[in-house]
Structure 1
Amino acid sequence: MRRRLIQSTLAVVLVVIAVFGVSLVIVESRTIEESARESVRSEAARLVSVVESRMVAGERVTAESMRTTVGDDRYIRIEVPGRSPIEFGEDPGADAITAEQTGGHGETVTVRESEGTVRAEVGRSLLIIFAVALLAIVAAAILAVRQAHRVAAPLTDLAETAERLGSGDPRPRHRRYGVPELDRVADVLDASADRIGRMLTAERRLAADASHQLRTPLTALSMRLEEIIATADTEDPADRATVKEEATIALAQVERLTDVVQRLLTNSRDPRSGSAVDFDLDDVVKQQMEEWKPAYRGEGRAIVRSGKTGLRAVGTPGAVAQVLATLIENALMHGGGTVAIRTRVTGNQVVAEVTDEGPGVDPELGSRVFERTVSGRNSTGLGLAVARDLAEADGGRLELLQQYPPVFALFLSRQADSSGGASGSRAAASSGSGSTSGSSSASGG
């Protein structure tokens, strides 16, 4: 591209120089010739006037008296009636510019200038013209190289930027080149890089959230299936009833697993999207307790429920179940002793609290347990972050009310009005935080 730009620029300059240079040469040559002819005629007229004035004054016209009035670069012949001609300079012959003037007393002055002198002057003028043209070509070449570099280098840089975007590096470069059209392309590429970066971040976040959030229901589902297998061959009607009950619960878990996947995909497209409805919080709490009791029995621990019953909240049942499942699993993995689920009402909010008798939240973490990748005990650090996102998508809020013993609280609105529920959630969170006393943290896993 640079070569083409340089060649095209030089071609334009050469055409311009050729057209105007030839015209200038022709005009300058004619001007020099006409000037020489006019100079010779003027010289002849001047000498005739000098000779005539001396003849009128009665002076004798001789070579000595006229030598001071003539130049040495031309041939001059003065003819006065009755006297011998007076000549100055060397006669150039036929190759000359000649002018002849006759005075009132019969005197004649002939002036001749060699055309070689005129051609020499024309040659000097042409040399100057050619030198200027050559200088113009050199200057045009330098400018063409600089302009080609100014245009081609940004295009190469933009091509590299586009290649980086295609290879998965969405970092914008924020480079500008002082050329409006190229700067516009750079703006578009930077904006595209920002969009691609956000899309990649969303995709990676979805993959991380999905892998983490699917782990909990899959663990519970595997435990249910193990119990079904263990009692599948029994002849006891009670055990067969247990098998049927476990299979029913496993099916419900599969449905909830499907709901979790759909929820994650929906949130990845639009985090503000939600399907909040009025639902019975007792059903969700009961479902979670039934699902996690086998796991707690296996660890020699218990999970209990207390507080007010018959509460109805506004939200997505599947999302609320997933939030509670995350808190219960965290208590199982990082906590200790009995895990308690307590439901209560504060203002326009329904609150579900999960606490255990374990070591609590690390004092260095505090409320940072809700940040992604923040973990206190070798976990992924995604669980609480995703749980808070799920709660906020329904207009609720997930808070750490107390670090030791750890108390996590899920605030949900009791009204269908999302604005009222959101404000109530903040008020309840503030109220709950005011009662916080300790200092320590469960993992964000």
Structure 2
Amino acid sequence: MTPGAGLHSARVAWRHSLRFRLSLMYTLGALLITAVIGFGITAYLLGQMNRQFDTRLAERAEAVADRFTSGTQDIGKRLPANNIYTAVLTEDNRVLAVSASLRTDTGRDFKFGDEFPYAHHASFDILDVPLRSTIRPVPEYGLVWVALPETDLVVARNSAARALLLSLLVAPLLLLLLGWLVGQRMLAGLGDAAELADRIDPSRSLATLPLPEREDEVHRLLTAINRLLVRIEAGQQREKQLLGQIVHELGAPLTVLKASLSSAGERTGDPEVMRAALVADELTFTTQDLMQLARGQLEMKLVWHFIPAQTLRARLDRLVSGVQFEGDWTGGILCDPDRLTQALRNLLANARRHAGVDGTVSCRLDETPEWLTFTVRDSGPGLPPELGERIFDPFVSGAGSSGLGLSVSRQIAVMHGGNLVGGNHFSAGGVVAGAEFLLTIPGAALGEDEEDELLEEVPA
């Protein structure tokens, strides 16, 4: 899976999305402002309506009082019928006269001199109709009591409350949707840049990210990231140059050392000298791998031969001491002998390093018509579980080594058409008994004539 596949297969969860957080904060802020303004306007309008109602009530009371003081209305006559309730009272709230509508709607027979029951109530209900009343003094007569229905005011108050509640419920949803859409548009450049950055391969050239046309915060962020990428690429180039210089300085002495040890081994037959010559040969391969790595990628070329498995076993036995060889080593192997030796030598050397001097290291060869499988086991502590597949990345090591050997070994196996996998093997009790690597390459699948012809080309 490529580095950017995770970003394409599963988008950022909404609760972790910057766009959602911005939309939510925008919505909460707008909701707070809407609530404050809405409550303020509603309170102001209802206050104005209350004042207008009180003014209307006072005007009605003044009009009724004027009818007595102007002499145009005789107290003995019934008060005119209208949509208000009126009554004339004494100073101590005794009934002098009441309107017919008040008698009819309350169902009470107000008699002259009775105590008026509504004199001390500013708001009350008659027939489930809310009323508000006021009292005005009338010289020489007493008091005028007037009440008006405030049904319209109650309806307006309830309507305003419902409208405000509805706006507080609907507005956040609309604002959140609007904020999400606006955020999607405004942060689109940042999202695209994140996908491009996620697809950057550090092993290749670090291309800079495209900048948006608008010079906003996203533009400044991407500019800073581009400057960082330029600095990283410059640092990588310096590291590659330094690595190349080191490998170049080591190459010449190793070549001379390899030739001298090979000549001395052929001349004296000393096994220790011959072993040292093989080690120098492996170091030469390692320096070549480092040189390829310094150039930007690890490239190797294979030279195919068909060799007896015993030949490979003998070379490994000389390179790494104390290895227990198991399985069937009587067949032949179609491979690049030097590279396959290098791959298995890296595995065995790592196994010996982790197992220690007193530990055990084994190499087992199993053959099927399609595959050859080399199983390298040790009795060490096993592979660190937190590394996982990263153990095959260049310069990643479980302990103590350069971390290049396993990466090179896997590439050699892949170039042969096989693979290299690693893990731990366990004892009967389920306890980690050490590390285990399986290197597989395709079988030779040659006929007898072809096998004899190739064996003649390779000395035993």
Which one has the bigger helix percentage?
1
**TM-score, normalised on structure 2?**
0.37
**TM-score, normalised on structure 1?**
0.38
Larger Rg: 1
